[in-house]
A = this chain, B = another copy of it.
Amino acid sequence: MKSQVSIVEDILSANDQLALSNRQQLDSTRTFAINIMASPGAGKTSLITQTVLGLRHLYQIGAVDGDIATTIDADQIAALGVPAIQINTGGACHLDAAMLGNALLQLEMEHLDLLIVENVGNLVCPASFALGTHRSVLIASVPEGDDKPYKYPVMYRGVDIVILNKIDVLEAFDFDVEYFRRGVEALNPNLGFFPLSCKTGAGMDLWLDWLLKELTTYVPGNSRANN
A11 CB, min distance to chain B CBs, angstroms: 8
Residue A67 is within 8 A (CB to CB) of chain B in the complex: yes
In the complex, which of the residues B40, B151, B172 contacts A172, with contact meaning CB atoms closer than 8 Å?
A: B172
A104 to B142, CA, bound (A): 35
A151 to B69, CA, bound (A): 6
A15 CB, min distance to chain B CBs, angstroms: 13
A132: chain B residues within 8 A (beta carbon): none
In the complex, which of the residues B67, B91, B150, B152 contacts A151, with contact meaning CB atoms closer than 8 Å?
A: B67
One digit per residue, 1 when the CB lies within 8 angstroms of any chain B CB and 0 when it does not, for chain A 141-157 equals 11111011011111000
One digit per residue, 1 when the CB lies within 8 angstroms of any chain B CB and 0 when it does not, for chain A 17-33 equals 00000000000000000
Interface centre among A67, A121, A147, A154, by most chain B C-beta atoms within 10 angstroms, is A121
The number of chain A residues with a CB under 8 A from chain B is: 40
A222 CB, min distance to chain B CBs, angstroms: 32
Find the B residue at minimum CB distance from A91: B154
A147 to B124, CA, bound (A): 21
B41 touches A148 (CB 8 A): yes
What are 30 inter-chain pairs, A to B, with CB distance below 8 A?
Answer: A1-B1, A4-B7, A4-B11, A39-B39, A39-B41, A40-B144, A40-B148, A40-B152, A41-B143, A41-B144, A68-B124, A68-B152, A69-B151, A69-B154, A70-B151, A72-B147, A72-B150, A73-B151, A120-B124, A121-B123, A121-B151, A121-B152, A124-B125, A125-B125, A141-B143, A142-B143, A143-B144, A143-B166, A169-B173, A172-B172
Given A40-B148, A69-B153, 17 more pairs with CB closer than 8 A: A39-B41, A40-B152, A41-B141, A41-B145, A41-B148, A67-B151, A68-B152, A68-B154, A69-B151, A70-B150, A73-B151, A93-B93, A93-B124, A93-B125, A141-B143, A143-B143, A143-B166
Give me the interface of A with B, judged by CB distance under 8 Å: 1-2, 4, 7, 11, 39-41, 67-70, 72-73, 91-93, 120-125, 141-145, 147-148, 150-154, 166, 168-169, 172-173
